[in-house]
Structure 1
Amino acid sequence: MRKAVIGLLLVSAVLTGCADTEHTSSHTVGLTATEAAPLTDAEQLRISDAQQRLIATCMRRQGFEFWEAERLSLAESRTLGYVLDDIGWARGYGYGSRLRAEDAAARAANPNLAYRKTLSEQRRQAYDKALDGGLDVPVISVEIPGGGTVSKQMGGCVAESEKELYGDPRAWFRAEKTSGHLRSLYVPRVLADQRFSAAQDAWSRCMKKVGYDYKDPGAARQAAIARSDRAAEPKVFEAERKLAVADATCARATDLRRIGEERERHYVAQLRDRYGDALDTYFRLQHQALDRARKIVGPRV
């Protein structure tokens, strides 16, 4: 648990292959237009950076060393959604395999993990308690859409940082996990949607014209991932880069992202009767955290 907490907080984890547009809905109730707008990558990173700053300050106040992660550039930190249509980014980074390798290396070299190992057993227990409350801290659980529950320790500097950013860390945890796991309910509907399927077919035909035979962007991405362990090799990365550029070019030509996001909003809106309160809370607390983060750290560039 400790390694996971430190790793998640200190190393950029945005290259996950899933965009945050999953939370977007044009039917939010009781929120202003600003409060209902989904955050950009840059805005979400600013919240993450602010939380690291708060945790570091808290840990040092309790007598421990704590290092914030190196802040990658905004371009290096971007998320890759299901549809990649940024041709310039694809030309420079492919599908991000080299960035993921750098991220993995940063995780392995995390100075906080190394520092914790140098502590005596007594000091290590004190460090853990300071960070996330230790073993006896209260745990909060929430049932997630699609079945199952997720749990989280609620203590230490992690909880303190979330309280400062979100006000109510328990409400934030429930809203974040509920809204995030809606993906399991609406993604199958989007993929089966006739308009989206037609756009994917058009994308596939476009790719065939330039020499690539993939049925959808996911298949193209998987082909690149299968070779990502060799991305340091110039020829392998060049092949990934060319595939990603073709992918993004065809996505632009077929308007795949716009159609996908529109159908996504359509199916998320159908879930609002049951999950609308969680979605509204998610947006409201996220914007609140952004307002507070702006007073703590500057933006990435």
Structure 2
Amino acid sequence: MRKAVISLLLVSAVITGCGSAQRTSQSTASPPAGGAQPLTDAEQLRISDAQQRLIGTCMKRQGFEFWEAERLSLEESRTLGYVLDDVGWARKYGYGSRLRAKDAAARASNPNLAYRKSLSEQRRQTYDKALDGGVDVPVIAVEIPGGGTVRKQMGGCVAESEKKLYGDPREWFRAEKTAGHLRSLYVPRVLTDQRFSAAQKAWSRCMKKAGYVYKDPGASRQSAIAQSDRAAEPKVFEAERELAVADATCARDTDLRPIGEERESHYIAQLRDRYGEALDTHSRVQHQALDRAKKTVGPRA
């Protein structure tokens, strides 16, 4: 458990799995509240980078070395979600298999892991306590939409960094987990929505004309993921790129992303009676964190 926690805390939070791919302008990781716009990928990454900087400053103050995680570029860190409609990005990166391999290699070679391992047992315990409060640190828990409970340790430099960015870490944890897990409630509705289903069928027909037979973008993406362990091979990566370009082209030609985002907003709105306060808190605190992050680090190139 300790090894898993440390490994998680020492690596950068590179966005690779949620939202839409066309996200240099705007991210749909959470719905807007009170007229506030959702954060862009660049803005979310800036918060993540600021937290790394704050953790490092805190750890060095405790007498330990700390290296900020190796970062992918802003372009490489672009969010990939259900719909990919950025043809230029797809032509360059396919579905991002080589980027995921690059990120995984950076995580595996993170110097903080080797540094911690080099410490004596007693010194390692002190390191852990400085980082996240150690094994006896208080844990907060929150019930999430759809059922279940998630927990988080609250201590050390990690907690300090979150407090500096988000204010009350408990308030942020509750809002973040609630907003994030709402996907389990509205995504199934979007996928079965009549308008979105019609757009997916149009996408499938477009793909068939391009020489690919897939029911939806998820199936197309999954076929590429199945070959991702061979992405270093030129022919395999070229096939991934060609498929991703066809996928993105058809998504753009059928307006799949804007239709999906409109239906997503529709179903999220239906949840606001119960979860509106958490959504508004999530948006407000996230924007506050961005303002604080701008005072700590510059934008990612």
Smaller-chain TM-score bracket: over 0.9
Count residues with an aligned counterpart. Answer: 294
**Superposition deviation, residue 104 in structure 1:** 1.1
Matched, 1:173 2:180: no
Instruction: State the secondary structure of the residue aligned to 1:212.
Output: coil
Within 5 Å, give how 1:207-226 maps onto structure 2: 207-226=207-226
**Superposition deviation, residue 16 in structure 1:** 2.1
Contact 1:6–1:113 (8 Å) recurs in 2: yes
Within 5 Å, give how 1:68-147 maps onto structure 2: 68-147=68-147
Match for residue 41 of structure 1? Answer: 41
Match for residue 199 of structure 1? Answer: 199
Amino acid at match of 2:268: V
Contact 1:2–1:128 (8 Å) recurs in 2: no
CA distance in 2 between counterparts of 1:186 and 1:5 reads 33
Amino acid at match of 1:23: S
Match for residue 294 of structure 1? Answer: 294
Instruction: State the secondary structure of the residue aligned to 2:28.
Output: helix
Matched, 1:60 2:67: no
**Superposition deviation, residue 71 in structure 1:** 2.3
* Structure 2, unaligned runs of 5 or more: 21-26
CA distance in 1 between counterparts of 2:192 and 2:16 reads 26
CA distance in 1 between counterparts of 2:56 and 2:206 reads 49
Contact 2:29–2:38 (8 Å) recurs in 1: no
Match for residue 283 of structure 2? Answer: 283
Match for residue 24 of structure 2? Answer: none
Q: Stretches of 4+ moved more than 3 A in 1?
A: 1-9, 17-20
CA distance in 2 between counterparts of 1:8 and 1:221 reads 29
Contact 1:3–1:113 (8 Å) recurs in 2: no
Amino acid at match of 1:260: G
Amino acid at match of 1:173: F
Contact 2:43–2:290 (8 Å) recurs in 1: yes
Q: 1:82-125: per-residue Cα shift (whole Å, max 9, x none)?
A: 10000000000000000101111111111111100000011000
Matched, 1:15 2:22: no
Matched, 1:229 2:246: no
CA distance in 2 between counterparts of 1:172 and 1:5 reads 21
Q: 1:191-225: per-residue Cα shift (whole Å, max 9, x none)?
A: 01000000000000000001000000000000000
CA distance in 1 between counterparts of 2:30 and 2:160 reads 25
TM-score where L is the length of structure 1: 0.95
Q: 1:258-279: per-residue Cα shift (whole Å, max 9, x none)?
A: 0000000000010000000100
Instruction: State the secondary structure of the residue aligned to 1:23.
Output: coil
Match for residue 265 of structure 1? Answer: 265
CA distance in 1 between counterparts of 2:290 and 2:70 reads 20
TM-score where L is the length of structure 2: 0.95
Match for residue 23 of structure 2? Answer: none
More displaced stretch, 98-107 vs 196-205 = 98-107
- The structure showing larger relative contact order (alpha-carbon pairs under 8 Å, at least 6 residues apart) is 1
* Structure 1, unaligned runs of 5 or more: none
CA distance in 1 between counterparts of 2:64 and 2:94 reads 40
Matched, 1:24 2:31: yes
Amino acid at match of 2:11: L
Identity %: 80
CA RMSD of aligned residues (A): 1.2
Instruction: State the secondary structure of the residue aligned to 1:21.
Output: coil
Q: 1:170-209: per-residue Cα shift (whole Å, max 9, x none)?
A: 0000000000000000000000100000000000000000
Amino acid at match of 1:24: P
Contact 2:141–2:152 (8 Å) recurs in 1: yes
**Superposition deviation, residue 23 in structure 1:** 1.8
CA distance in 2 between counterparts of 1:80 and 1:159 reads 29
